[in-house]
Amino acid sequence: MNGEKFKIYRKILAGSGILFSSNAIASFLGFIVLVVIAKKISIEEFGVIGIIQSYTLTVGTLLNFQTWQTIIKYYPRIKNNSELVQSLLKYSFRLDFITAIIAFVFGIGLLELVYQTINLPEIYKHCAQIHLLSILTKLNGTATGYLRVLDKYHLFFKSQVIAGFVKLSLVMLVLWMNLEFVYIIVAFVFAEVTYDIVLNISFYNVLKEDSLHRFLNKKISLIKEKYKDIFDFSLYTNFISSFDTIIFQADVLIVSGFFGVSYAGCFKMIKVIVGLINRLSGPLSITISPIVSEFIAENKLKELRSNLLKSFLFLSILLGMGFGVFLLLDELIVELVFSKEYLQYIYYLDFAIFNLFVGIVFMGIHPVTNFLGYHRQVLYIIIVLSLLYLSLIYLFSSSVGFEIVFIAQLVQISMVILSKLYLSNKKLDLITIPKLSTS
């Protein structure tokens, strides 16, 4: 048993270590890009970049299905049957392709209304149209899921590093040649497309090694008896991610709508720092998901419960100390990386980091509730709490001010976690309440 536990921890550490390295390099390169840009343009223009990226990510996440979760859930159950694996891959890739096109068309169609609402110049709308092109290459949900379940994390390293260097090189070239704002967006698009292409080429090479590269062949039929179940899971998990988007990707749009472009620039600064920390913690979440799926597929719920509770305790202690260190260094970080102009927003940055750490402590509960079969209930919870988040901002933006964005975030994140703990407790007994003696 101890040997098996050690194997699990080693698997998590190995996968997390590779992804941490790639995320660290990619985040550092992306961080340099945004810092260089922020020093060259105004806060308002920096806010526009955030709005454009936020819009594309929102549309993409809303309509381009997150099929990697489907692969992670069902692969452990069928991994010994190559025909079923190919059927699963075929179904997943079809969803990637169809939903990418739908997302792009929807994004172009809705763009005019969005830009009229936030009242930005025509040139920025054209920039957003260019950035939306990156959605068309987002066919990597299947690749992401398959490479994760096989622990091929080094391929994500390669894709992220190559894309990061492409972005840095192109942005530096644009700034050196003193080109117009639109070329910064073009550089971003080229970097994102590069990541998608490199990852899918790597995915194809792995499939070739496994003799699965012909999964799109017409002779491979879909999994008929599981079709409804798989589609149901894909649909619900995608909508869960979509409504999470309101908090984590559409927030710049929300801020610009309620508080103006200047505050959007401030919020973009906050997202740069929060995003850097989030990306560095992301590898742990990514490597946990396939292991959670295996535990549930093999009905090892006691082991899952034990490891989940240990993760809560360990991350609480680690991130508690980390937050204390950040509070000591926050002003220095903002002044060195951005400028003194951004120091007026330091309180909001601290609040955002606190919210992020609360979410990271309980990151393990998210795949658990999905893979235990509670994806329907989670979707309803996310919808209600996302509406609560928007309602709090709408009702209190005038009286409370910009701070309400972060208060609403904390309320939403906390209630999502408590709801998921309640659902998972039904099968895992995470919280055992002793019965009172009647004697």
Q: For the chain, what is the total number of helices (H) and then of strands (E)?
A: 16, 0
Cβ atoms of residues 81 and 220 within 8 Å = no
As to burial, measured by CB atoms within 10 angstroms (0-12 exposed, 13-18 middle, 19+ buried), residue 19 is: buried
Whether this prediction's pTM lies above 0.75 is answered by no
- Average pLDDT value for the chain: 79
Identify the CA nearest to 75 among candidates 399, 244, 291: 291
Q: Tell which wins on pLDDT, 271 or 218.
A: 271
Q: What does the alpha-carbon distance between residue 19 and residue 15 come to, in Å, rounded to a whole number?
A: 6
DSSP assignment of 325-353 equals: HHHHHHHHHHHHHS-GGGGGGHHHHHHHH
- Indicate the range of 233-237, 275-279, 430-434 predicted with least confidence: 430-434
pLDDT reported for residue 407:
92
Cβ atoms of residues 162 and 106 within 8 Å = no
Q: What does the alpha-carbon distance between residue 171 and residue 36 come to, in Å, rounded to a whole number?
A: 9
Cβ atoms of residues 416 and 387 within 8 Å = no
What would the mean pLDDT of 388-409 be, rounded to a whole number? 88
pLDDT reported for residue 414:
92
pLDDT reported for residue 411:
93
pLDDT reported for residue 190:
93
Q: What is the pLDDT of residues 338-366, one digit of tens each?
A: 667 767 778 888 888 898 889 888 888 88
